[in-house]
Amino acid sequence: MNPYLDDDLITLGEHARRFASERIAPGFLERDSTRVLDRTLMAEMGRMGFIAPELPEEMGGQGLGCLAAGVIHEEVARADLSLSYINLLASLNAQILSHHGQHEVVAPWLQRLTRGEALVAIALTEPRGGSDAANLRLRVERVGSDYVINGEKTSISAADQADATVVFGRTGTLESGARGVTALFVPMDLPGVTRNRFDCHGQRAIGRGSIFFENVRVPVSHRLGDENQGFVQVMQGFDFSRALIGLQVLAVARVALEETWEYVAQREAFGKPLSAFQGVSHPLADFDTQVTAARLLCLQALWLKDRNAPHSSEAAMCKWWAPKLAYDAIHQCLLMFGHGGYDRGPMEQRMRDVLGFQIGDGTAQIMKTIIARTRAGRDAVPA
Ligand SMILES: Cc1cc2nc3c(=O)[nH]c(=O)nc-3n(C[C@H](O)[C@H](O)[C@H](O)COP(=O)(O)OP(=O)(O)OC[C@H]3O[C@@H](n4cnc5c(N)ncnc54)[C@H](O)[C@@H]3O)c2cc1C
């Protein structure tokens, strides 16, 4: 029983788990080496209705809630966290495009996105820094009926595999801060766009890299939201992705815990199963307790979102707590496997995969500042 999941959502989760264990899990280790996001699998996920199911049907979705998106997302992540970026990026960008884009521009992309035929990145971070995001410098100038983009975005997930990206650039003065930022939708095949790829510690099938813009022209119709309001309007979508990230990393921790409980119950030392030693079972019980609680928090954030209720602080709590907890839990699981845990394999890959989310989409310090702002008021915190 789970207060946030009714029978339909539980059935949806079981359906997604069957697909993920048959189609996604078998390639989990191999994709870490090949570093290629499997487009065939992505299209299969689209056909199953697993990508951005929260979008209305006329936009390509299933008209299901954000909780449904979360339930599918965690099952894909359980099989391969890198592959579940397809769900994460699609849900985040589908929300941004459907709320802030011009229908004629974004409608065909939303169809491609939900069918698993297109991957859209989100480009906010710059070489000068990501935490102080409102201080961004990428130059965007209005020239006639176009915007012209110059500069670099860096550490962008799927930079070299994406078909398009949402880009945040400066149209106002530097002093205008968050109120001088405009968001644009930029197809990656435009002249002047180049990209590279980093050698990442984890999440290697999705990867990260820089995107360089040299006099890239996009029509004004590609603007998302109002000019100079991109940061304020479009960034609100990040509450959704923060709750999803929580479920994503906790799903990885949950499968690690399940496998570890099974292992310690059958592996023996000193004539007993490892689980007979409280030095083994209690740390696992501790992590199981916290992972169960953190998952409820993530589901609560999505439940609030489905009801249009404020959930920024809950989403920030999910985003700082879950990645740290998942990393620590998987670390503990790895140790329980003894020397075998140190071999290249699922446990160490899971640890590398979840670690990225202690940084990506905003660090714990920034999340705690967001929580402090909602509790103490914007003027009572330094940032
Ligand atoms: C796996 C991964 C995926 C990513 N995907 C994307 C993506 O798709 N799109 C995108 O735009 N970016 C992406 N990023 C970039 C990410 O959002 C930034 O790395 C992050 O916001 C931090 O920015 P920074 O790395 O420049 O660190 P900095 O901003 O330079 O911060 C460095 C350290 O100082 C701390 N710090 C900074 N300011 C404060 C403060 N006021 N109080 C306390 N501590 C502070 C930070 O918490 C951090 O620990 C990704 C990063 C990773 C690792």
Helix/strand/coil (H/E/C) assignment for every residue in the chain: CCCCCCHHHHHHHHHHHHHHHHHHHHHHHHHHHHCCCCHHHHHHHHHCCCCCCCCCHHHCCCCCCHHHHHHHHHHHHHHCCCCCHHHHHHHHHHHHHHHHCCHHHHHHHHHHHHCCCCCEEEECCECCECCCHHHCCCEEEEECCEEEEEEEEEEEECCCCCCEEEEEEECCCHHHHHHHEEEEEEECCCCCEEECCCCCCCCCCCCEEEEEEEEEEEEHHHEECCCCEHHHHHHHHHHHHHHHHHHHHHHHHHHHHHHHHHHHHHCEECCEEHHHCHHHHHHHHHHHHHHHHHHHHHHHHHHHHHCCCCCHHHHHHHHHHHHHHHHHHHHHHHHHCHHHHHCCCHHHHHHHHHHHHHCCCCCHHHHHHHHHHHHHCHHHCCC
- What confidence tier does 1 reach under pLDDT thresholds 50, 70, 90? confident
Ligand 1 binding pocket includes 157 (Cβ within 6 Å): yes
17 Cβ closer than 6 Å to some ligand 1 atom: no
Residue 263 sits in the same domain as residue 184: no
The string of pLDDT tens digits covering residues 101-148 is: 999 999 999 999 999 999 999 999 999 999 999 999 999 999 999 999
pLDDT at 362 (0 to 100): 96
Q: Is the pLDDT of residue 382 over 80?
A: no
| Shared domain check, 248 and 165 | no
Q: Is the CB of residue 201 less than 8 Å from the CB of residue 327?
A: no
The domain tally of the chain equals: 3
Q: Is 135 within a domain?
A: yes
Helix axes 238-266, 346-355, angle to 10 degrees: 160
Q: Which atom of ligand 1 is nearest to the CA of 158?
A: 8
Let me know whether 346 and 245 are in one domain: yes
> Using CA atoms, how far apart are residues 104 and 202, in angstroms rounded to an integer?
37
Q: What atom in ligand 1 is closest to the CA of residue 200?
A: 1
The answer to whether residues 282 and 371 belong to one domain is yes
206, 228, 250 — which closes off a domain? 228
Looking at residue 6, its pLDDT comes to: 97
Q: Is the same domain home to 19 and 95?
A: yes
The answer as to whether 1 is a domain residue is: no
Q: What is the mean pLDDT of residues 305-324?
A: 97
Q: Residue 256: which CATH number?
A: 1.20.140.10
Percent of the chain with pLDDT over 70: 100
Q: Are residues 204 and 129 in the same domain?
A: yes
Answer yes or no: is 127 within a domain. Answer: yes
Final residue belonging to a domain, choices 55, 90, 118: 118
111 with 157, same domain: the answer is: no
Q: Which of 166, 186, 361, 373 to mutate to test the pocket of ligand 1 (most atoms within 8 A of CB)?
A: 361
366 and 239, same structural domain?
yes
Closest CA to ligand 1's atom 32: 131
Half-sphere exposure of 262 (CA within 13 A, CB side): 6
Pocket flag, ligand 1, residue 241 (CB < 6 Å): no
Same domain for 252 and 311, yes or no, is: yes
DSSP bridge pairs for 258: none
Residue 177 resides in a domain: yes
Site of tokens 């740290």: 324
How close is the Cα of 88 to the center of ligand 1, in Å?
18
pLDDT in tens, 15-30: 999 999 999 999 999 9
Is residue 243 within 8 A of residue 296, CB to CB? The reply is no
pLDDT per residue as tens digits for the range 230-270: 998 888 789 999 999 999 999 999 999 999 999 999 999 99
Residue 334 has pLDDT above 80, yes or no: yes
Residue 341 lies in a domain: yes
**Mean pLDDT throughout 286-308?**
98
CATH code of the domain containing 53: 1.10.540.10
Pair type for strands 146-157 and 193-195 = unpaired
pLDDT surpasses 70 at 228: yes
Q: Are residues 176 and 275 in the same domain?
A: no
Domain boundary among 101, 118, 135: 118
Buried b (16+ CB within 10 A) or exposed e, 298-336: bbbbbbbbbeeeebbbbbbbbbbbbbbbbbbbbbbbbeb
Residue of 214, 162, 163, 218 whose CA lies nearest to 192: 214
Q: Residue 248: CB within 6 Å of ligand 1?
A: no
Statement to judge: residues 281 and 348 lie in one domain: yes
Predicted pLDDT of residue 235: 81
Range of the domain at 157: 121-228
Q: Is residue 35, in this structure, part of any structural domain at all? A: yes
Asked whether the predicted pLDDT for residue 319 surpasses 80, the reply is yes
Q: What pLDDT does residue 98 have? A: 97
Check residue 383 and give its pLDDT.
60
Please state the rounded mean pLDDT for residues 290-318: 97
The answer to whether the beta carbons of residues 92 and 98 sit under 8 Å apart is no
Check whether 274 has a pLDDT greater than 80.
Answer: yes
| Residue 258 lies inside a defined structural domain of this protein | yes
158-179 pLDDT per residue, tens: 999 999 999 999 999 999 999 9
Task: Decide whether any atom of ligand 1 lies within 6 Å of the 201 Cβ.
Answer: no
Q: How confident is the model at residue 378 (pLDDT cuts 50, 70, 90)?
A: confident
Q: Is pTM beyond 0.95 here?
A: yes
Residue 139's CATH number: 2.40.110.10
Do 113 and 167 share a domain, yes or no?
no
